[in-house]
A and B are shown apart, each in its own frame.
Chain A
Amino acid sequence: MSKRITLKKGLDIKLQGEADARKIFRVSSDLYAVKPTDFRALVPRLEVRVGDAVRAGDPLFSDKYRPEVKFTAPVSGVIDAICRGEKRQLLAVTVKADEKITYKRFDVPPAGKLSREKIIELLLESGLWPLIKQRPYDIIADPSARPVAIFVTAFDSSPLAPDYRVLLQNDAAAIRAGLEALDTLAGGALHVNAREKDDWHFPDNARVNYFSGPHPAGNAGVQIHHLAPLHKGEIAWVVNLPDAALIGRFLLGGQVDPRKTIALAGSEVTEPAYIETIAGARIGSIVEGRLRDRGRQRVISGNVLTGDRVEMDSFLGFYHQMLTVIPEGDRPEFLGWAMPGFDKFSMSRTFPSFLFPGKRYRLDTNYHGEQRAFVASGQYEKVLPMDILPVYLLKAILAGDIEKMEQLGIYEIAPEDLALCEFACTSKIPVQEIVADGIALMMKELT
């Protein structure tokens, strides 16, 4: 049965610079990359060398512990660099793109004849498998596992989020093919979680659930919590609708063709718009010439709550459908805590922002304070629409108490689900980092 769920808790942070759905620009990049750092807990094994020629769909690296999970080139070209960080950690494999892209051909049987095993094999081989994530732990799905259900999130509720209707306006066939394949993978338990107002027409085999309410209503973790809370030992798979469309496009065309539309948003973008590009494009190629000239800026791959800080020579994140550009907040502010602060945004009512609910803000990256012990109570609960006690869960993680973490809900959350807690925290506690550490601890202790 499909469900209608209205969430009350949460927070919509209204930022300046929402992408204009009427403007779609096409951007091609000179360099593309796949970054192992986009994947939680991945230990990559490199499969190419600098100078090798690759086609779109040829493997660049694979998972050291599950070699069948491959990560493939988004375009054809020549391996330009293998970037490494501290202790030779593999950061990125970059491909210098050909003028005309050549594709590796995959032998895909027609839609009706695809078995579960064949779909898994094809997705693993094509490098699209990592688009499917697993809960608990928010990691790449284990192809040998049997999920209780697959959840497809059909909208993004985060600040300045792109409208999936715009991203996927020409992808109806791909969406259909992708959802059908996911339905086969799920053994019939496919849930698509959408907003009523988007008015999608999904295939009949999917259970469509409608969510409304403020962010994080669009987060898979929150949706699963309300539809079918995960217990110990249960696994669910989650996919974003744009990624499901990529899977569908691959199955229809037999080649890896990760063109995607993303939003370029934020107060520092001259003309916030949608950008048509290819997965892994260089950040500079997308944002250069499109930014305002008013001081230092922060470019974020993803949204302002969960995205990664990136430089011009870095690359679009594997799972990201947007780039956000906001001002850096690296200026000390005289008696900032004592001023009325009309230009500041706060969920607490200690700033006047609560009197202007419709106002849009130009927020910067300043911390607005320093880290302290937990003091204020009740504020995390206001932005977490789950029956979970976040402070107690975080304290269990900090104490490394596995049993408590299990009891209090570590299996149900990803760092992104508690991102608003981190935003709102009076004590400036690094909530997402703590959750990530907790997940790493669980994976280490239980496998």
Chain B
Amino acid sequence: MKFLRSFLDKHKPAFEKGGKYSALHSLFAGVTFLYVPDRVTRSGCAIRDAVDLKRMMSVVVLALVPALLFGMYNVGYQHFLATGGEPGFWSLFLHGFWRVLPMIVVSYVVGLGIEFTAAQLRGHEINEGFLVSGLLIPMVMPVTAPLWMVGLSTAFAVIIGKEIFGGTGMNIWNPALLARAFFFFSYPSRVSGDKVWVDGLADGVSRATPLAEAYQGTPFTHDLGTMFWGLIPGSIGETSAFCILLGAVLLLVTGVASWKIMLAVFIGGAGTALLLQHALPDANPYSHVTVARHLLAGGFAFGAVFMATDPVTAAQTAAGKWIYGLLVGIVAIVIRVLNPGYPEGMMLAILLMNTFAPLIDWCVVQRNVARRLKRGKIPA
């Protein structure tokens, strides 16, 4: 390690102002991924909390790992379920691994490439802003998504969703969901229907997700237990409620994600699902979809845990978090049940509430201002 450090120290001046490679200064800043810089406090607090954005983001990445690994396994499982054959655990997993890995690589290469270029053009330092998004993007895609579409969606999300607003911390919409929304509206046949969720499906065969079954009113193939453990068709990372729960536990124990938002999304979703289940006439297929089925199906749990809680795009005041989370849950179920167009509503619900989060916060801030004006005068 000494060698690495002295190598870096030796070449550092070349990347600084006036140095030979000063044009690539933003790239050298990437060294901070290897070493926490030796920078010390000058003014203000002499000591600083050990946490930084890299630490926070690496916790989220760690929380995604169970869902990701299971997603890889499930890709293999669904593939062999559809095509026949009874390979062992490792064959299933490796099949999925080799299907998913290229998507992850494409997402990171395209996303980081654009971020580096943007940092370079602006004279900023590169940062860790894409660490989480880069992994989330493939996890919310169907495994059959062509790599170039993954790349294009990523590019759209990073450029239009993030960089034009000023980069990390400035974006209005969750970049990963924006990538999926771009994909969804640009190539609808590749991200909906019964043929896209399982890799290597033969012509004429289809595999419906639980949400599609609810939408079409066909009998349910999967019981709640299977849905909880996650051996169902769906986007790569979203199927296993159990693995998402593991991630949620890590996010909540470390305090990286807001428990208020997470809880509020589930309360909003469960309440709306319960209401609609009983309010709808018997002829409506959704009157047979229970609360548990709603929460376990599709991207609800994944969205609630990993997407709605994105601190940049969610509401930021304490009261705002409750309102925002409740509305995400409510809108997601409303889109699923009452909108004739889409069987799934989580993505659109979160993006919609991302749009309204600043308004929610504005209202909370105004209430704070009004309350502070009304406070009592000094006792005589």
Contact = CB atoms under 8 A, between A and B. Distances in A.
Interface residues of A, number: 78
Interface in A335-365: 335-338, 341, 344-351, 353, 363-365
Nearest to B365: A392
A317 B342 CA distance: 67
A348 B254 contact: yes
B316 interface: yes
B32 interface: yes
A365 B37 CA distance: 12
Does more than half of chain B's interface fall in helix, strand or loop, or is it mixed? loop
A373 B170 contact: yes
Given A345-B50, A369-B53, A330 B38 contact: yes
A330 B40 contact: yes
A354 to B, nearest CB: 9
A333 B33 CA distance: 10
A369 B36 contact: yes
Given A332-B37, A333-B36, A433 B43 contact: yes
Interface in B30-86: 32, 34-56, 58-59
Contacts of A387: 368, 371-372
Given A1-B379, A349-B254, A387-B372, A374 B169 contact: yes
B249 interface: no
A331 to B, nearest CB: 6
Contact of A332 (B5, B379, B380): B5
A368 B49 contact: yes
Contacts of A231: 373, 375, 377
A349 B49 contact: no
B311 A376 contact: yes
Nearest to A338: B58
A304 B46 CA distance: 5
A372 B129 CA distance: 10
A424 B49 contact: yes
B166 A334 contact: no
Given A373-B167, A376-B56, A334 B1 contact: yes
A300 B39 contact: no
How many chain B residues sit at the interface, stated as a range, is: 35 or more
A300 B41 CA distance: 12
A8 to B, nearest CB: 14
Contacts of A227: 378
B188 interface: no
A338 B53 CA distance: 11
A32 B286 CA distance: 82
A366 B36 contact: yes
B360 to A, nearest CB: 13
Given A333-B35, A333-B36, A348-B56, A373 B254 contact: no
B311 A368 contact: no
B53 A426 contact: yes
B49 A430 contact: no
B256 interface: yes
A408 interface: yes
Interface string B346-369: 000000000000000000010011
B168 interface: yes
Nearest to A232: B373
B47 A423 contact: yes
A228 to B, nearest CB: 4
In this complex, the member of A148, A335, A373, A427 whose beta carbon has the largest number of chain B beta carbons within 10 angstroms is A373
B318 interface: yes
B375 A229 contact: yes
A304 B47 CA distance: 6
Nearest to B311: A377
A304 B45 contact: yes
B46 A335 contact: no
In this complex, the member of A375, A387, A391, A423 whose beta carbon has the largest number of chain B beta carbons within 10 angstroms is A375
Contacts of A337: 36, 52, 54-55, 58
A326 B48 CA distance: 12
In this complex, the member of A351, A389, A409 whose beta carbon has the largest number of chain B beta carbons within 10 angstroms is A389
Contacts of A351: 50-51, 55
A27 B4 CA distance: 47
A350 B45 contact: no
A329 interface: yes
A333 B375 CA distance: 48
Nearest to B125: A370
Interface string B228-269: 000000000000000000000000011110100000000000
Nearest to A420: B45
B133 interface: no
Given A234-B378, A335-B36, A415-B44, 13 more contacts: A228-B379, A332-B35, A338-B58, A345-B50, A350-B51, A365-B41, A366-B38, A368-B49, A373-B167, A377-B314, A378-B311, A388-B372, A407-B373
Q: Sorted from nearest, which 3 A-B pairs have the closest CB atoms? A: A369-B52, A373-B169, A336-B36
